[in-house]
Amino acid sequence: MHKVLQKQLKKLGFKNGKFPDGNLEKFIEIVDNAYNEADEEREFLEYTLKTSSKEMVELYTKLEQKSKTALAKSEKRYKELATKDILTGLLNRFAFQEELNRLISNSKRTNTKFALLFLDLDHFKEVNDTHGHDIGDKLLQEVAKRVLPNIRVEDIFARIGGDEFILLFTNIKKNELGQLVSKAISLFRKPWVINNINLHVTVSIGVVVYPDDADNEEELLKKADIAMYKSKELGRNQVIYFEKSLLS
Protein backbone atom coordinates (compact mmCIF):
# COMPACT_ATOMS: atom_id res chain seq x y z
CA MET A 1 0.00 0.00 0.00
CA HIS A 2 1.21 3.54 -0.68
CA LYS A 3 3.26 4.88 2.26
CA VAL A 4 1.41 8.18 2.37
CA LEU A 5 -1.91 6.37 2.53
CA GLN A 6 -0.57 4.14 5.30
CA LYS A 7 0.42 7.22 7.26
CA GLN A 8 -2.99 8.81 6.80
CA LEU A 9 -4.84 5.64 7.82
CA LYS A 10 -2.64 5.32 10.89
CA LYS A 11 -3.55 8.87 11.78
CA LEU A 12 -7.22 7.89 11.62
CA GLY A 13 -6.65 4.94 13.95
CA PHE A 14 -6.02 2.07 11.53
CA LYS A 15 -3.08 0.12 12.94
CA ASN A 16 -1.62 -3.37 12.44
CA GLY A 17 -4.44 -4.28 10.08
CA LYS A 18 -7.09 -3.46 12.65
CA PHE A 19 -9.75 -0.75 12.88
CA PRO A 20 -10.26 1.39 15.98
CA ASP A 21 -11.84 -0.79 18.67
CA GLY A 22 -12.06 -3.49 16.01
CA ASN A 23 -15.16 -1.75 14.70
CA LEU A 24 -15.33 -1.25 10.93
CA GLU A 25 -18.38 0.99 11.14
CA LYS A 26 -16.61 3.19 13.71
CA PHE A 27 -13.59 3.47 11.41
CA ILE A 28 -15.77 4.43 8.44
CA GLU A 29 -17.41 7.11 10.59
CA ILE A 30 -13.99 8.53 11.54
CA VAL A 31 -12.91 8.62 7.89
CA ASP A 32 -16.20 10.22 6.90
CA ASN A 33 -15.84 12.89 9.58
CA ALA A 34 -12.25 13.59 8.57
CA TYR A 35 -13.37 13.96 4.99
CA ASN A 36 -16.24 16.32 5.79
CA GLU A 37 -14.68 18.47 8.53
CA ALA A 38 -11.51 19.69 6.87
CA ASP A 39 -10.82 20.58 3.26
CA GLU A 40 -7.15 19.99 3.82
CA GLU A 41 -7.77 16.47 5.12
CA ARG A 42 -10.20 15.75 2.27
CA GLU A 43 -7.75 16.89 -0.36
CA PHE A 44 -5.01 14.85 1.28
CA LEU A 45 -7.19 11.76 1.35
CA GLU A 46 -8.21 12.18 -2.28
CA TYR A 47 -4.62 12.70 -3.35
CA THR A 48 -3.29 9.66 -1.52
CA LEU A 49 -6.12 7.45 -2.73
CA LYS A 50 -5.71 8.71 -6.28
CA THR A 51 -1.93 8.17 -6.16
CA SER A 52 -2.33 4.71 -4.68
CA SER A 53 -4.97 3.80 -7.24
CA LYS A 54 -2.69 4.95 -10.05
CA GLU A 55 0.21 2.91 -8.67
CA MET A 56 -2.04 -0.12 -8.28
CA VAL A 57 -3.25 0.22 -11.88
CA GLU A 58 0.33 0.47 -13.10
CA LEU A 59 1.32 -2.55 -11.04
CA TYR A 60 -1.68 -4.52 -12.27
CA THR A 61 -0.89 -3.59 -15.87
CA LYS A 62 2.70 -4.76 -15.49
CA LEU A 63 1.61 -8.03 -13.89
CA GLU A 64 -1.02 -8.54 -16.59
CA GLN A 65 1.51 -7.95 -19.37
CA LYS A 66 3.99 -10.29 -17.71
CA SER A 67 1.30 -12.91 -17.30
CA LYS A 68 0.24 -12.60 -20.95
CA THR A 69 3.85 -12.85 -22.10
CA ALA A 70 4.43 -15.95 -20.00
CA LEU A 71 1.16 -17.44 -21.21
CA ALA A 72 2.02 -16.69 -24.84
CA LYS A 73 5.39 -18.39 -24.41
CA SER A 74 3.73 -21.41 -22.81
CA GLU A 75 1.09 -21.62 -25.54
CA LYS A 76 3.79 -21.38 -28.22
CA ARG A 77 5.80 -24.14 -26.53
CA TYR A 78 2.75 -26.40 -26.13
CA LYS A 79 1.81 -25.82 -29.77
CA GLU A 80 5.32 -26.74 -30.88
CA LEU A 81 5.25 -29.91 -28.79
CA ALA A 82 1.85 -30.80 -30.26
CA THR A 83 2.73 -30.13 -33.90
CA LYS A 84 6.49 -30.54 -34.25
CA ASP A 85 8.57 -33.69 -34.35
CA ILE A 86 10.84 -33.34 -31.32
CA LEU A 87 13.88 -34.90 -33.01
CA THR A 88 13.91 -33.09 -36.35
CA GLY A 89 11.73 -30.03 -35.80
CA LEU A 90 9.61 -31.01 -38.81
CA LEU A 91 5.83 -31.26 -38.70
CA ASN A 92 4.74 -34.44 -36.94
CA ARG A 93 2.07 -36.88 -38.14
CA PHE A 94 -0.76 -35.00 -36.42
CA ALA A 95 0.22 -31.63 -37.91
CA PHE A 96 0.85 -33.21 -41.31
CA GLN A 97 -2.65 -34.71 -41.39
CA GLU A 98 -4.12 -31.30 -40.62
CA GLU A 99 -2.07 -29.73 -43.41
CA LEU A 100 -3.07 -32.47 -45.83
CA ASN A 101 -6.79 -32.03 -45.12
CA ARG A 102 -6.42 -28.27 -45.45
CA LEU A 103 -4.62 -28.77 -48.77
CA ILE A 104 -7.33 -31.12 -50.04
CA SER A 105 -10.03 -28.56 -49.21
CA ASN A 106 -8.09 -25.74 -50.84
CA SER A 107 -7.33 -27.79 -53.96
CA LYS A 108 -10.98 -28.69 -54.35
CA ARG A 109 -11.95 -25.06 -54.10
CA THR A 110 -9.27 -23.79 -56.51
CA ASN A 111 -9.33 -26.82 -58.84
CA THR A 112 -5.57 -27.33 -58.46
CA LYS A 113 -3.36 -30.39 -58.10
CA PHE A 114 -0.75 -31.41 -55.58
CA ALA A 115 1.58 -34.38 -55.19
CA LEU A 116 2.22 -36.45 -52.09
CA LEU A 117 5.57 -38.23 -51.83
CA PHE A 118 6.00 -41.04 -49.31
CA LEU A 119 9.71 -41.32 -48.46
CA ASP A 120 11.36 -44.19 -46.60
CA LEU A 121 15.12 -44.31 -45.97
CA ASP A 122 16.90 -47.35 -47.37
CA HIS A 123 18.74 -49.61 -44.89
CA PHE A 124 18.14 -47.25 -42.00
CA LYS A 125 17.94 -50.17 -39.56
CA GLU A 126 21.49 -51.13 -40.53
CA VAL A 127 22.68 -47.66 -39.54
CA ASN A 128 21.17 -48.06 -36.08
CA ASP A 129 22.46 -51.62 -35.71
CA THR A 130 25.98 -50.80 -36.88
CA HIS A 131 26.59 -47.32 -35.52
CA GLY A 132 23.99 -46.93 -32.78
CA HIS A 133 20.76 -45.01 -32.42
CA ASP A 134 22.57 -41.75 -31.72
CA ILE A 135 24.02 -41.77 -35.24
CA GLY A 136 20.63 -42.81 -36.60
CA ASP A 137 18.97 -39.87 -34.86
CA LYS A 138 21.57 -37.46 -36.19
CA LEU A 139 21.02 -38.82 -39.69
CA LEU A 140 17.29 -38.08 -39.40
CA GLN A 141 18.13 -34.55 -38.27
CA GLU A 142 20.47 -34.12 -41.25
CA VAL A 143 17.70 -35.24 -43.59
CA ALA A 144 15.55 -32.37 -42.33
CA LYS A 145 18.43 -29.90 -42.65
CA ARG A 146 19.21 -31.00 -46.19
CA VAL A 147 15.69 -31.21 -47.59
CA LEU A 148 13.99 -28.15 -46.09
CA PRO A 149 16.23 -25.52 -47.77
CA ASN A 150 15.80 -27.27 -51.12
CA ILE A 151 12.03 -27.27 -51.46
CA ARG A 152 9.70 -24.41 -52.28
CA VAL A 153 8.36 -22.20 -49.50
CA GLU A 154 4.81 -23.38 -50.17
CA ASP A 155 5.71 -27.08 -49.96
CA ILE A 156 5.42 -29.21 -46.81
CA PHE A 157 7.93 -31.66 -45.34
CA ALA A 158 7.00 -33.84 -42.37
CA ARG A 159 8.28 -36.81 -40.42
CA ILE A 160 5.46 -39.21 -39.69
CA GLY A 161 7.45 -41.79 -37.75
CA GLY A 162 10.71 -43.75 -37.69
CA ASP A 163 12.54 -43.16 -40.97
CA GLU A 164 9.35 -42.25 -42.86
CA PHE A 165 8.81 -38.78 -44.27
CA ILE A 166 6.17 -37.07 -46.37
CA LEU A 167 6.72 -34.36 -48.96
CA LEU A 168 3.78 -32.36 -50.28
CA PHE A 169 4.36 -30.44 -53.49
CA THR A 170 1.47 -27.98 -53.56
CA ASN A 171 -0.23 -26.39 -56.53
CA ILE A 172 1.85 -28.23 -59.13
CA LYS A 173 1.77 -27.17 -62.76
CA LYS A 174 1.81 -29.38 -65.84
CA ASN A 175 5.20 -31.01 -66.50
CA GLU A 176 6.55 -29.60 -63.21
CA LEU A 177 6.25 -32.68 -61.00
CA GLY A 178 8.99 -34.74 -62.65
CA GLN A 179 11.59 -32.06 -62.02
CA LEU A 180 10.53 -31.57 -58.41
CA VAL A 181 10.63 -35.30 -57.67
CA SER A 182 14.01 -35.75 -59.37
CA LYS A 183 15.48 -32.98 -57.26
CA ALA A 184 14.06 -34.54 -54.10
CA ILE A 185 15.57 -37.98 -54.66
CA SER A 186 18.91 -36.50 -55.75
CA LEU A 187 19.27 -34.97 -52.29
CA PHE A 188 19.48 -38.47 -50.83
CA ARG A 189 22.07 -39.74 -53.31
CA LYS A 190 24.78 -37.55 -51.86
CA PRO A 191 26.85 -39.10 -49.01
CA TRP A 192 25.93 -38.32 -45.43
CA VAL A 193 28.74 -37.55 -42.99
CA ILE A 194 27.74 -38.02 -39.36
CA ASN A 195 30.45 -37.73 -36.68
CA ASN A 196 33.09 -38.33 -39.39
CA ILE A 197 31.25 -41.49 -40.46
CA ASN A 198 30.36 -41.72 -44.16
CA LEU A 199 26.89 -43.14 -44.64
CA HIS A 200 25.50 -44.04 -48.05
CA VAL A 201 21.80 -43.93 -47.29
CA THR A 202 19.36 -43.50 -50.16
CA VAL A 203 15.57 -43.27 -50.21
CA SER A 204 12.64 -45.10 -51.77
CA ILE A 205 9.77 -42.86 -52.86
CA GLY A 206 6.14 -43.48 -53.75
CA VAL A 207 4.21 -40.68 -55.48
CA VAL A 208 0.49 -39.98 -55.79
CA VAL A 209 -1.23 -37.00 -57.38
CA TYR A 210 -4.40 -35.33 -56.15
CA PRO A 211 -7.05 -35.70 -57.53
CA ASP A 212 -5.82 -38.00 -60.34
CA ASP A 213 -4.95 -40.95 -58.07
CA ALA A 214 -7.13 -40.23 -55.03
CA ASP A 215 -9.17 -37.40 -53.54
CA ASN A 216 -9.07 -38.07 -49.79
CA GLU A 217 -6.44 -38.41 -47.08
CA GLU A 218 -6.80 -42.16 -46.50
CA GLU A 219 -6.54 -43.16 -50.16
CA LEU A 220 -3.69 -40.77 -50.89
CA LEU A 221 -1.57 -42.19 -48.08
CA LYS A 222 -2.52 -45.77 -48.87
CA LYS A 223 -1.59 -45.51 -52.55
CA ALA A 224 1.60 -43.56 -51.86
CA ASP A 225 2.61 -46.30 -49.41
CA ILE A 226 1.92 -48.99 -52.02
CA ALA A 227 4.07 -47.16 -54.57
CA MET A 228 6.86 -46.70 -52.05
CA TYR A 229 6.95 -50.42 -51.20
CA LYS A 230 7.07 -51.20 -54.90
CA SER A 231 10.18 -49.05 -55.05
CA LYS A 232 11.67 -51.17 -52.26
CA GLU A 233 10.82 -54.38 -54.11
CA LEU A 234 12.49 -53.14 -57.28
CA GLY A 235 15.80 -52.46 -55.58
CA ARG A 236 15.30 -49.23 -53.59
CA ASN A 237 16.82 -45.80 -54.35
CA GLN A 238 14.15 -44.91 -56.89
CA VAL A 239 10.78 -43.27 -57.44
CA ILE A 240 7.59 -45.12 -58.29
CA TYR A 241 4.50 -43.23 -59.38
CA PHE A 242 1.25 -44.86 -58.36
CA GLU A 243 -0.78 -46.55 -61.06
CA LYS A 244 -3.78 -48.86 -60.89
CA SER A 245 -1.72 -51.89 -61.88
CA LEU A 246 0.02 -51.74 -58.49
CA LEU A 247 -3.26 -52.78 -56.85
CA SER A 248 -3.40 -56.13 -58.64
> Catalytic amino acids?
163
Rounded CA separation 31/8 (Å): 10
Which of 184, 199, 169 is CA-nearest to residue 119?
A: 184
Measure the CA angle with vertex 231, ends 229 and 237; round to 5°.
125
- Residues 6 or more apart in contact with residue 127 via CB below 8 angstroms: 135, 136, 139, 199, 201
Helix axes 133-147, 124-131, angle to 10 degrees: 140
Burial class (CB in 10 A: 0-12, 13-18, 19+), 163: buried
Residue 31 bridge partners (DSSP): none
Rounded CA separation 44/34 (Å): 10
Measure the CA angle with vertex 34, ends 28 and 36; round to 5°.
100
